[in-house]
Amino acid sequence: MEKSIFDTVPLEQFIILSLILFCIGMVGVLRRRNMIVVFMSIELMLNAVNLLAVAFSAHRGDPSGQVFVFFVMVVAAAEVALGLAILMMIYRNVKSVDINALKQLKW
């Protein structure tokens, strides 16, 4: 059988890489004000989780982690479709994709 990357790189490095990607995404969500960039950052976080799931799955030789990744992808696609629809609707109403464009609800 051919050697895969999961045989040569230890699991810890995958965990660290995923957590780094996850944190980059989190900073993006918290810091950026453009809604499209926020969506992209959430996608980055999701994919960090997917990478971790695949790494665990390959490490254990158990396919259920990879099946889980498919579920996550489907749900992520649904969420992005919906998010972009909401974005379009808001853009038509206020002509801006800035998160702070809508600020009527407070206290």
Partner 1 sequence: MYPIIILSLAGILSMFIGAYKLKKLALPAVLVATLAAFVSNFLPQNLHDAPVYSGMLKFDSFAVNFSAVLMGITLVILILSRRYYRDNHEHLGDIYALFLFSVVGGMIMVGSYNLVMFFVGLEILSIPLYILATSERNNLLSNEAGLKYFLMGSFITVFLLLGMVLIYGMSGSFDFGAISAYLSSTPETPVLVKLGVMLIMIAFIFKISAAPFHFWAPDVYQGSPAVIMVFMSTVAKTAAFGGFLRFLTQAIAPIGDSFTPLLAVLSALTITIGNLMALNQNNLKRLLAFSSIANAGYVMLALVGLGVNSSSTVLYYMLVYSIANVITIAVYLTVKESLGSGSIDGLKGLYQSKPLLTFCLVLAMLSLAGIPPLAGFIGKYAVFVEALHNGYAWLVVLAALNSAIGIFYYFRVMRTAFQNAEEGPVTVPYVLGYSTVLVICTLVLLVLGIFPNVVLNGW
Site of interaction with partner 1 (CB under 8 A): 15, 22, 25, 29, 35, 38, 42, 45-46, 48-49, 52-53, 56, 59-60, 62, 64-65, 67-68, 71-72, 75, 78-79, 82-83, 86, 89-90, 93-94, 99, 102-106
* Shortest CB 39 distance to partner 1, Å: 8
18, 50 contact by CB (below 8 A): no
Q: Which is nearer to partner 1, 2 or 50 (CB)?
A: 50
Strand partners for 98:
34
Question: Which two three-digit tokens encode residue 34?
Answer: 């453009």
For residue 102, the 8-state DSSP code is: -
* Shortest CB 29 distance to partner 1, Å: 6
For residue 93, the 8-state DSSP code is: H
In angstroms, the first-to-last Cα distance of the chain is 63
Q: Which is nearer to partner 1, 7 or 67 (CB)?
A: 67
44, 50 contact by CB (below 8 A): no
Q: Which is nearer to partner 1, 7 or 70 (CB)?
A: 70
76, 46 contact by CB (below 8 A): yes
Q: Which is nearer to partner 1, 7 or 102 (CB)?
A: 102
